[in-house]
Amino acid sequence: MAGDTLTSSEYIKHHLTNLTFGQHPDGSWGVAHSAAEAKEMGFWAVHLDTMFWSILLGVAFLYMFKKAADQVTSGVPGMLQNFCEWIVEFIDSSVRGSFTAKNNMVAPLALTIFVWIFLQNLMDLVPVDLIPLVSGWLGIHFMKVVPSTDPNATFGMAIGVFMLVIFYSIKMKGVGGFAAELTLQPFSSSNAVVNTLFIPINFVLEFVSLIAKPISLALRLFGNMYAGEMIFILIAIMYNAGIVLGLFGGVLQLGWAIFHILIITLQAFIFMTLTIVYLDMAHHEH
């Protein structure tokens, strides 16, 4: 697919364009048939492929763990039960090591985040031309299969975590306590007048620190996964550059895929760990 009908730049642009649904400039609603049409749809457009694959992987995660729970036994466990118990114990150890307060929601949230993001990242190991080729046969113009390479998905998850941080910050400390954290540190003084002058400075510093949490969560995951996807696409272009480069590209793809297994796992773990840490900070006063 790389070199038959598309130039290298067109091939890259095609594989990096989402299947977008939104409003056309003429006022009608529909699916974009080009990258330019997708761009014209603006902010309120919906990336159908991101929604489809993220929901599908979420359902697969729930089904797998539900099946393991239904088949659980106190005797010799099966492979699925062993695998799920290993993940649960791993998440439980991570929560116990990073979360010092008491909240029964944190561990299930951490489990969901880790497995769901890992499955999204894992789609990056699917050959870059396989699913777009099949979707092309079905008349679907674009199909990105890695939801975590879409900033809409990563920012959506990060904003969800951020809302929980704000909720528990206010719940545990009260509105006054949360406001005090944003305005009375890091600078303070025993003089009331000086302390009042410090309030806007403290607020700017703490507000930037607060907003940086969801932004860093989203951009870290998106940036690493997008770069990994781009490398797979660039390697795929080599297959149409002759036998020698094609064989070299095959070796590169295998090596990058093996290394990428570490990246997709690490990114899911970092997102989960930072979520636990941010929620722990929300449960304690500075």
Beta pairing partners, 23: 29
Q: If you write DSSP's letter for every residue of 208-245 in order, what string do you get?
A: HHHHHHHHHHHHHHHHHHHHHHHHHHHHHHGGGS-HHH
Q: Are 152 and 163 in contact (CB under 8 A)?
A: no
Q: Which of 188, 189, 191, 216 is catalytic?
A: 216
Q: Is 93 a catalytic residue?
A: no
- Interatomic CA distance for residues 106 and 275, integer angstroms: 9
3-state secondary structure of 167: helix
Query: By C-alpha distance, which of 92, 59, 64 is closest to 80?
Result: 64
Contacts of 48 (CB under 8 A, 6+ apart): 18, 19, 20, 21, 31
What DSSP string runs through 107-158? HHHHHHHHHHHHHHHHGGGS-TTHHHHHHHHTT-S-----GGGSHHHHHHHH
The structure tokens listed for 139 are 């008349």
Sheet holding 29-31, edge to edge: 29-31, 20-23, 46-47
For residue 191, indicate whether it is catalytic: no
- CB atoms under 10 Å from CB of 146, counted, come to 25
Cα 27 off chain centre by: 32
Amino acid making up residue 105:
M
Q: Which member of 135, 152, 220, 240 is catalytic? A: 220
Report phi then psi at 158, rounded to 5: -65, -40
Which two tokens mark 74? 């106190």
**Is 216 among the catalytic positions?**
yes
Residues annotated as catalytic are 216, 220, 224
